[in-house]
Each structure stands twice: as structure tokens, then as C-alpha cells.
Amino acid sequence: MKAYRKSWLICLAAAFLLLLAACGNDEDTEPAEPSADENEAAEDQSADDTETENEGTRTVTDAMGHEVEVPANPERVIGSYLEDYLVALGITPVAQWSVRNGDDIQDYLQDDLEGIPTIPSELPYEAVTSFEPDLLLMDSASMVEDNKYEQYNKIAPTFVVGTEENNDWREEFKMVAEVFGMEEKAEEVTAEYDTKAEAAKEQIQEAIGDESVAALWLFADTFYIVSENLSSGDLLYNELGLTTPSVVSEISETTTANWSEISLEKLAELEADHIILVNSDNGSSVLEDPIWQNIPAVQNDNIYEFDQGSSWLYTGPIANSQMIDGALESLVE
């Protein structure tokens, strides 16, 4: 019995010593560094968790400083008078800008917008609501004055693209692209456009040199002349580098409108060598007036007529690209 007890005690002591040794090794051994694969797996899991938390929405800041939570993939967009940018990005709006009860729309975009319902340009709340939009884009701050922003924002997330009524089209295009996370697409479109504009500039200047060009719009027996730095005027004088008639510069100094009415008396001072005429008034008698007939461009048969459906009354990457095509056909023989 004594021998047995002694053997048992020896075994117990040995086991205890082994346990102490194991604990000592655990305390002295530093934890192993995770492998590269383990780190990558952890980062991927973290990214997945972030995407899950933000899934469905993105937060962007508009021109007025609003932090707007927009759908990650909006499907029912209304961007009244911003359709040029949407189409350029491959986005089809749920409704398109119109005036005069839908009779007038942006005809130059109809290859892409044919069949899209119209919405009045003033965007009545009831009309906007009827389309069940998931994102509203507003062209300028003036469209959301007098508490309108809050009202629209109750219908759908509302993003204001520009603060002015006439914003630079490149900046507007960039802002619209940022809303959809399509900055790279916008850069591609703009770069392609710039290449086209530069090539056209060389061809047109080689063809007509420093001869002056004016753009006029005839509507209801009244002439309107384009501003030097807005709409098609920006294209003609800034991007294509064409010579500005003095009357255009003079009127541009006192107006903020894209197109300004010009009297027949002032028209008599228009020494333009070439005139691009947007004619919304076919058969108008003013084209028979001696004042019109005495303009150098008219006398030399350098009048290039476009109908109201052309892009010359608008602006944007698509409108400007079409205008370049028209300028080349008109001014380069």
C-alpha cells in the first residue's frame, strides 16, 4: 500500500510540474502575426460591412450646400432642362422638360427621348408627384426659392445643380455626373467633345479667317440675338474663337439672358459677315424689311437657316456637338 501511494504521489507531482511548464510557455510566447491572406480577408470583410451599412444610398453635396442622400442607382429621375447631360451619361429620365402645354420640347434630343412623357418647365408639385420620382435634379437655385426646396424634397431627394440661372455647361455636367458617381464617363464625353471642337475651330478659321459671325433667333416677328458668353454664343466666340460683331458685344454687356431682343434699328448696326438664323417664324415679313436686307451677311447670301427644333437654342455636350456639325456645314465650303 505504501509503495502504491508513493507511486501515485510521484505521478501527481509530475503532472503538476508539466502543467506549470505549459503555463509558463504560454505566458512567454508572443502571439503569432496574422498572415497576408488573413489580413486581406479581414479587409475584405470590413469593406463588405461598409457597403452593407451604406447599401442603397449615397450622400452628395449640392450647389446650395444641401447634403442630399440619393439612391445608389436611381431609376426614376426628373432633371428638367438638364436632359442633355442625362442623355450624355446614358440616363433616361422618367419625364422631360416642356413648355406651352407640352407643344415645345427639346427636339434635338428626341432620338433618345422619343416617347418620354413631358412635364411643365415650372414643375408643379402634383405633376412631379405623379411620376413617383426617386431623384429630382434642379437646374438652378431660382427653381427652389420660397420654400420650394422643402416641398420638392418631400417628394424625392432633391439636388440643386447650380446657383445661377445660366451656369457653365461643363460645371453643370460635372455636377450631374457626380450625383450618379459617373465622373469618369463625364470626363470621357468632355474630352471627346474638346477634341471635336478644337478640330472644328481650325477648319472654320481656315475657311473664314476673321470674318464675323452672329446668331439670331426669329420668333413672332421679333429678332433675338445670342449673348457673347452664353448658349450658342459661348460656343461661337469662346470655343470656336470666331470674331464677335460689335453689336453682339455691346448688347451682351447689359444683359444676363441667353437671347436678347434686338430692334430693327439696332439690327441696322449689325455688321456681321455671316448669320446663323434660327427661324421659328417661317414666312415672316421682317425678312423682307430693307434693314434686314442691308446687313452684309444677307447681301452676300451668308445666311444659314435652322429650324426651331435644332440645338442652337440650348447648351450641353450634345447640343454643342450638334452645333459644331451645323457650323462646319455652314461655314466650311
Nearest Cα neighbor of 239 from 321, 139, 330 is 321
- pLDDT for position 73: 93
pLDDT, tens digit, for every residue of 95-142? 999 999 989 999 999 999 999 999 999 999 999 999 999 999 999 999
Alpha-carbon span 220 to 286, nearest angstrom: 10
Residues 248 and 124 in one domain: no
- pLDDT for position 35: 52
- Residues spanned by the domain of 72: 53-181
- Those residues of the chain that have pLDDT short of 50 are 1-33, 36, 38-53
The enclosing domain of 205 has a CATH number of: 3.40.50.1980
- pLDDT for position 165: 77
The partner residues of 69 in beta bridges, in order of sequence, read 59
Residues 93 and 117 in one domain: yes
- pLDDT for position 60: 96
Looking up cell 470674331, which residue turns up? 243
pLDDT, tens digit, for every residue of 132-171? 999 999 999 999 999 999 999 999 999 999 988 778 999 9
- Let me know if residue 23 belongs to a domain: no
Which of 117, 149, 181 represents a domain boundary (last residue)? 181
Residues 208 and 324 in one domain: yes
Using an 8 Å Cβ cutoff, are 172 and 161 in contact?
yes
Residues 326 and 224 in one domain: yes
- pLDDT for position 70: 96
The partner residues of 172 in beta bridges, in order of sequence, read none
CB-facing half-sphere around the CA of 219: CA atoms within 13 A:
13
Which of 153, 181, 209 represents a domain boundary (last residue)? 181
Per-residue CA distances from 162 to 89, 117, 122, 142 (Å): 18, 25, 17, 9
Domain count, the chain: 2
